């Protein structure tokens, strides 16, 4: 490595003295103006990772659903997955190294990972629509270039699109072409094929309408590009397309999920099917309002359930012993877990919050459906399942079985298996609703969510909260779990847990119960317990 050149270039991307950041579940994320040095150094890290794995690595510049002033960066591993945890640690060390320590930190990474510095390196870069993203992605490029790496700048893309092209590139096109055009073609072909098999909607209206809140983000641009690939029976209407308002401001999937209300900028008529993407289009939630003006949220749990119902019917038809399972987190509504386990008889697994945990677990099954309640999720098909399904779709003599296998094959091609993808998920959902002739209300009525409440409490050090059992129980501080257990006893059908946030300096509290006032009361009581036993700061939490 040419440390002189690195030093010179690094001086143009200085680290604010004393600033420390951590590569968390969503990469680095903070105010955009603090991130220049981080971007530059992530360019380094991507080159080293590319050399260490002899593969193409992705770097995405985005802060997802955070305010427009923020930004962030995430690295994408060869299979389109989140960066390996051991390298998250290196990312943190590199970002926090003072100028004079840079050389040492980089040398250590190279030694530990036996990086061959003479190998080629290729990095794919993408960015969201934030005003700061262009300049920050240029800093990534500067970092890549100093280390002699090659790059391809995809410019404005959704996060899942970058995951997709990285995977395509590293599988020599087997998964698809590593271009946006390739992405649009693969998904739309599968979607058109699926939709063809649907009867026309019972309403007599041969067109299907969907209103989409694009969070004033990248999803709007990419849906506009993709729109002309869609069959004319599917009419999408884009709102919050970024031409007027600020990114994620009073809109987007996170806003809708957290506030359980419709986004600004989208006028909803009763029973109209609507959905919201988040700022980098890797999350989606659906919703509608009924004739009494009540808002109904259809979150990731209900999306997972719909997908499961559909896939299970097809799997039964093709009569292959393919094992399907659902992966959720502790935030999954209790009603969804119950419905999946008891009514659908599908095994459900609970893992820690964060996409990488869900993805990893879902890889254990032939068909692994994973979704976070917040709307991030996808379906993974094992290699063995893929081979069986593709074979049946081509060779099976029995018409019904062959048709079912074809549908599975198209589902496999439509879903982005690298990561949760709002655009791909939306097309999967639209296809399933069309194929099953379901209205948004019928989908919503599959089960009734248990009322729930999410709260947060500020404590001096959130790491005093230790969790176990996929974050469903705490092991520290002493006495807290016993207190939660006692509080839960007071309410019917109730459940509560607390966990330190991975993205904010707070402790999160989740409670659900038979009635909203009980969920609210339980969440409040648990938050008081956290406040008193885990060193709360400021005034005690107030009732909801
Ligand atoms: C990150 C995670 C998301 C998780 C959220 C929880 C990824 C790509 N994103 O945004 O999956 O739901 O963190 O945030 O893994 P919290 O730890 O602050 O509750
Ligand atoms: Mg996102």
| Whole-number Å distance between alpha carbons of 315 and 10 | 55
Q: What percent of the chain has pLDDT over 70?
A: 99
Is 64 marked active-site?
Answer: yes
pLDDT band at 202 (very low <50, low <70, confident <90, very high): very low
Pairing of strands 295-298, 324-329: unpaired
- pLDDT value of residue 25: 86
pLDDT of residue 199: 63
The answer to whether 5 touches 146, Cβ cutoff 8 Å, is yes
Determine if ligand 1 sits within 6 Å of the CB of residue 502.
Answer: yes
CB 465 within 8 A of CB 500: yes
Residue 204, pLDDT above cutoff 50: no
Q: What pLDDT score was predicted for residue 205? A: 54
The pLDDT mean for the chain works out to 96
Find the catalytic residue in 50, 64, 336, 527. Answer: 64
Query: So what's the pLDDT on residue 206?
Result: 65
> How far away, in angstroms, is 185 Cα from ligand 1 center?
30
Give the span between the Cα atoms of 9 and 147, in whole angstroms. Answer: 11
Average of per-residue pLDDT across 374-389: 97
pLDDT, tens digit, 9 for 90 and up, residues 210-259: 999 999 999 999 999 999 999 888 899 999 999 999 999 999 999 999 99
Q: Pick from 502, 506, 508, 509 the residue to mutate for probing ligand 1's pocket: most ligand atoms within 8 Å of its CB.
A: 502
The SS3 assignment for 537 reads coil
Nearest-atom index, ligand 1, CA of 503: 18
**420 touches ligand 1 (CB under 6 Å):** no
Whether pLDDT at 312 is above 50 = yes
pLDDT score of 505: 87
Give residue 384 CA to ligand 2 midpoint distance, Å. Answer: 30
**From 354, 470, 500, mutation site for ligand 1 pocket: most ligand atoms within 8 A of C-beta:** 354
Name the pLDDT band for 203 (thresholds 50, 70, 90): very low
Ligand 1, closest atom to CA 356?
15
Q: What pLDDT, on the 0 to 100 scale, is given for residue 265? A: 96
SS (H, E, C) 434-492: HHHCCCHHHHHCCCCCCCEEEEEECECCHHHCEEECCCCEEEECCCHHHHHHHHHHCCC
Position 231 scores a pLDDT of 87
Tens-digit pLDDT profile for residues 453-476: 999 999 999 999 999 999 999 999
Task: Break the chain down into helix, strand, coil percent, rounded to 5.
Answer: 45, 20, 40
353: confidence class by pLDDT, cuts 50, 70, 90 = very high
From the CB of 278, is ligand 1 less than 6 Å away? no
Q: Mind listing the pLDDT tens digit for each residue in 65-114? A: 999 999 999 999 999 999 999 999 999 999 999 999 999 999 999 999 99
Please compute the mean of the pLDDT values over residues 27-43 and round it to a whole number.
97
283-292 pLDDT tens trace: 999 999 999 9
Question: DSSP E strands: which ranges in 178-294?
Answer: 208-213, 234-239, 274-277, 284-289
pLDDT of 233 reads: 83
Here the tokens at position 465 are 């909260």
Q: Are 131 and 253 in contact (CB under 8 A)?
A: no
CA 353 / ligand 1 centre spacing (Å): 6
67 Cβ inside 6 Å of ligand 1: no
User: Which-ligand-closest: CA of 26?
Assistant: 1
Structure-token pair, residue 411: 């589902």
Tell me: the pLDDT tens digits for 479-504?
A: 999 999 999 999 999 999 999 998 88
**Ligand 2: distance of its center to the CA of 194 in Å?**
27
**Cβ contact 383:391 at 8 Å:** no
pLDDT value of position 275: 98
Q: Read off the tokens for 352.
A: 């820690």
Ligand 1 contact, 132 CB (< 6 A): no
Confidence class for position 176, pLDDT limits 50, 70, 90: very high
Quote the ligand 2 centre to 66 CA distance (angstroms).
9
CB contact set of 101 (below 8 Å; sequence gap of 6+): none
The pLDDT confidence band at residue 5, using thresholds 50, 70 and 90, is very high
Q: What is the mean pLDDT of residues 443-451?
A: 97
Regarding the beta carbon of 498 and ligand 1, being less than 6 Å apart is answered no
Mutate-to-test residue for ligand 1 from 24, 25, 508, highest number of ligand atoms within 8 A of CB: 25
Give yes or no for a contact between 306 and 429, defined as CB atoms under 8 angstroms apart: yes
The minimum-distance atom of ligand 1 relative to the CA of 372 is 12
Mean pLDDT (whole number) for 50-59: 98
Q: How far is the CA of 337 from the centre of ligand 2 (A)?
A: 24
Residue 496 is encoded by which pair of tokens? 């509560």
Which protein residue has the closest C-alpha to ligand 1 atom 2?
A: 354
pLDDT in tens, 390-408: 999 999 999 999 999 999 9
Atom 9, ligand 1: residue with shortest CA distance: 26
Ligand nearest to the CA of 163: 1
State the pLDDT at residue 368. Answer: 98
| Residue 200 confidence (pLDDT) above 80 | no
Ligand 2 midpoint to CA 388 (Å): 33
Position 125 scores a pLDDT of 98
Q: What is the mean pLDDT of residues 351-368?
A: 97
């Amino acid at each position: 490595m040419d440390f002189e050149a690195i030093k010179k270039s690094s001086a143009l991307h200085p680290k604010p003295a004393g600033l420390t950041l951590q590569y968390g579940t969503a990469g680095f994320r903070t105010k955009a103006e603090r991130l220049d040095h981080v971007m530059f150094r992530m360019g380094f890290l991507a080159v080293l990772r590319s050399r260490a794995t002899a593969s193409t690595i992705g770097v995405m510049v985005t802060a997802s659903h955070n305010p427009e002033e923020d930004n962030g960066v995430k690295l994408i591993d060869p299979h389109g997955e989140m960066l390996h945890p051991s390298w998250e640690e290196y990312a943190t060390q590199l970002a926090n190294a003072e100028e004079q320590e840079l050389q040492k930190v980089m040398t250590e990474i190279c030694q530990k990972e036996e990086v061959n510095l003479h190998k080629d390196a290729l990095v794919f870069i993408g960015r969201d629509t934030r005003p700061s993203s262009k300049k920050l992605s240029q800093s990534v490029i500067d970092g890549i270039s100093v280390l002699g790496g090659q790059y391809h700048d995809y410019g404005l893309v959704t996060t899942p699109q970058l995951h997709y092209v990285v995977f395509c590139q590293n599988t020599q096109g087997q998964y698809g072409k590593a271009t946006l055009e390739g992405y649009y073609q693969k998904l739309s072909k599968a979607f058109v094929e699926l939709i063809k098999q649907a009867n026309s909607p019972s309403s007599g209206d041969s067109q299907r309408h969907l209103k989409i809140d694009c969070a004033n983000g990248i999803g709007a641009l990419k849906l506009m590009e993709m729109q002309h690939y869609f069959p004319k029976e599917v009419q999408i209407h884009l709102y919050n397309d970024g031409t007027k308002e600020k990114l994620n401001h009073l809109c987007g999937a996170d806003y809708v999920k957290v506030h359980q209300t419709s986004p600004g900028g989208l006028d909803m008529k009763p029973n109209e099917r609507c959905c919201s993407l988040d700022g980098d289009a890797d999350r989606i939630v659906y919703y509608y309002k009924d004739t009494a003006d009540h808002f109904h949220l259809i979150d990731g749990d209900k999306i997972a359930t719909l997908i499961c119902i559909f896939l299970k019917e097809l799997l039964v038809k093709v009569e292959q012993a393919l094992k399907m399972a659902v992966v959720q987190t502790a935030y999954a509504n209790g009603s969804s877990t119950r419905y999946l386990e008891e009514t659908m008889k599908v095994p459900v697994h609970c893992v820690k919050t964060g996409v990488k945990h869900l993805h990893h677990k879902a890889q254990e099954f032939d068909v692994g459906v994973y979704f976070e309640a917040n709307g991030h999720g996808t379906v993974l098909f094992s290699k063995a399942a893929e081979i069986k399904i593709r074979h049946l779709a081509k060779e099976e003599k029995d018409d019904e079985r062959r048709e079912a296998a074809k549908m599975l094959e198209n589902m496999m091609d439509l879903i982005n298996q690298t990561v949760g993808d709002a655009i791909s998920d939306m097309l999967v959902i639209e296809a399933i609703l069309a194929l099953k002739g379901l209205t948004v209300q019928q989908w919503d009525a599959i089960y009734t969510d248990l009322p729930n409440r999410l709260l947060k409490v500020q404590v001096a050090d959130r790491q005093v909260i230790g969790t176990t059992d996929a974050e469903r129980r705490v092991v520290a501080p002493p006495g807290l779990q016993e207190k939660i257990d006692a509080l839960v006893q007071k309410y019917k059908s109730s459940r509560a847990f607390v966990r330190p946030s991975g993205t904010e300096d707070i402790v999160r509290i989740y409670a659900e119960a038979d009635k909203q006032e009980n969920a609210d009361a339980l969440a409040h009581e648990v938050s008081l317990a956290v406040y008193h036993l885990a060193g709360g700061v400021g005034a005690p939490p107030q009732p909801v």
